[in-house]
Amino acid sequence: MLRLNCPICGPRDETEFSYGGDASVKRPKMDETDPQIWIDYVFYRDNPRGPHLEYWHHVQGCRQWLVVERDTVSHEIASCRLAREVAR
């Protein structure tokens, strides 16, 4: 079981969170009309071995979306930040 250090709630069990996908992809602007750009955003993901930026949602806690840097091999968590505060 992973333990995530929620910036609002402190270290909490993985079971309080739900995984929210790759946080390195950038959602196209609302007025983007090129289907290929949306297809890339919706369907295509890298599957890296090692560090991975990902969204986690503190569903059973403060309900904040977090950007977590997790190593997909060791599960080591390098950082855990509020999504709204992550500079994009």
Partner 1 sequence: MTGRRLETGGRIDRSRPLSMTFDGRRVEGFAGDMLASALLASGETIVARSFKYHRPRGVYSAGVEEPNALVHLRDDGRQEPNARATMVEAFDGLIATGQNAWPNVRWDLQGANRFLAPFIGAGFYYKTFIGPIRGTGFWMFCERFIRRAAGMGRAVTLDDPDRYEQANLHCDVLVIGGGPAGLSAALAAGRAGADVLLVEQDAELGGSLLSEPVGSATDAWLNTIAPDIDAQHNVRVMRRSTVFGAYDHGTYGLVERLWDHDVRPPEDQPRQRFATVRAKQAVLASGAIEQPLVFGGNDKPGVMLAGAVRTYLNRYSVLPGSRIVVATNNDSAYAPALDLANAGADVVLADARTGLPESLLENTRNGGVEVRLGHSVVQAKGRGRVQSAQIAAVDGAGLMAGPATSVPCDVIAVSGGWQPALHLWSQRQQKPVFDSEKHCFVPIADAAPPMICAGGVMAASGLEEAVGQGFSAGVHAADQTGATRDAGSILTAPSVSVGDDWTREIAPVRFIVDANGKPKGKAFVDLQHDVTTADLDLAYREGYEAAEHAKRYTTAGMATDQGKTSGVNTLAQLAALRDVAIGEIGTTTFRPPYTPVNIGALAGAETGPHFQPTRLTAVDQWHRDNGAVMTEAGAWMRPWYYPQMGEDLRAAYIREAGHVRQHVGIIDVSTLGKIAVQGPDAAEFLNRVYINGWKTLAVGRLRYGVMLRDDGIVFDDGATARLGEYDYFMSTTTANAAGVLSVAEKLLQTEWTDLEAHVTSITDQWAAFAVAGPKSRDLLAAVVEGTDLSREALPNNYFAHGSVEGATVRVHRMSYSGELAYEVYVPALRGLDVWQALIAAGEEFDLRPYGTEAMGALRIEKGHVAGPELDGRTCLGDLQLGGLPSKKKPFVGSVLRQCPALVDEQRPTLVGLEIDGETGATPGSLLFAEQGPMEGHGEGWVSSTTYSPALGKNVALGLLKNGPNRMGETVRVANFFGDRVLTATVTSHHFFDPDGERQNG
Residues that bind partner 1 in the complex, under the rule CB under 8 A = 1-3, 13, 18, 20, 23, 27, 30-35, 38-39, 41-43, 55, 57, 59, 63-65, 67, 75, 77, 82-84
Q: Which two tokens stand for residue 26?
A: 């950038």
The least distance separating partner 1 from the CB of residue 38, rounded to whole angstroms, comes to: 5
CA angle 76, 81, 85 (to 5 degrees): 155
Edge-first strand order for the sheet with 65-71 is 18-22, 51-57, 65-71, 77-82
